[in-house]
Amino acid sequence: MNELEKRIEAIEKRNKKVETDKAWETSWTRKICIMILTYIVVILYSYLVRNYDNILLSSLVPVVGFALSTLSLKLIRKVWENKSK
């Protein structure tokens, strides 16, 4: 395989990864998982903290929900990628 063929193969591999990334970012699987995980965090937060007057503490809910969703979505993404092939 010559240099040009290697470069074309590398570009095609990169393009496939970009297409997969874009499909994941716009997928309903990802959106629904983020919504569910954020909802669970809000429920847990509501049970743990019953004082809703503290705006700084209340503002952490979406941040923690988002952080947890990004950490846990890696596994879900792998399953999604395998099923979408």
- The rounded distance, in Å, linking the Cα atoms of 58 and 37 is 17
In a domain, 10, yes or no: no
In a domain, 54, yes or no: yes
In a domain, 36, yes or no: yes
In a domain, 78, yes or no: yes
**What is residue 11's predicted lDDT score, i.e. its pLDDT?**
94
At residue 7 the predicted structure's pLDDT band, cuts being 50, 70 and 90, is very high
Residue 31 has pLDDT above 80, yes or no: yes
In a domain, 6, yes or no: no
> What mean pLDDT do residues 45-68 have?
72
Is pTM, for the whole model, over 0.85? no
In a domain, 42, yes or no: yes
What one-character-per-residue DSSP string does 67-80 give?
HHHHHHHHHHHHHH
Q: Which residue segment(s) compose the domain that 69 sits in?
A: 26-84
In a domain, 15, yes or no: no
User: What are the angstrom distances between the C-alpha of 84 and each of 20, 37, 40, 44, 59?
Assistant: 9, 22, 27, 33, 36
Q: Indicate the number of domains in the chain.
A: 1
In a domain, 33, yes or no: yes
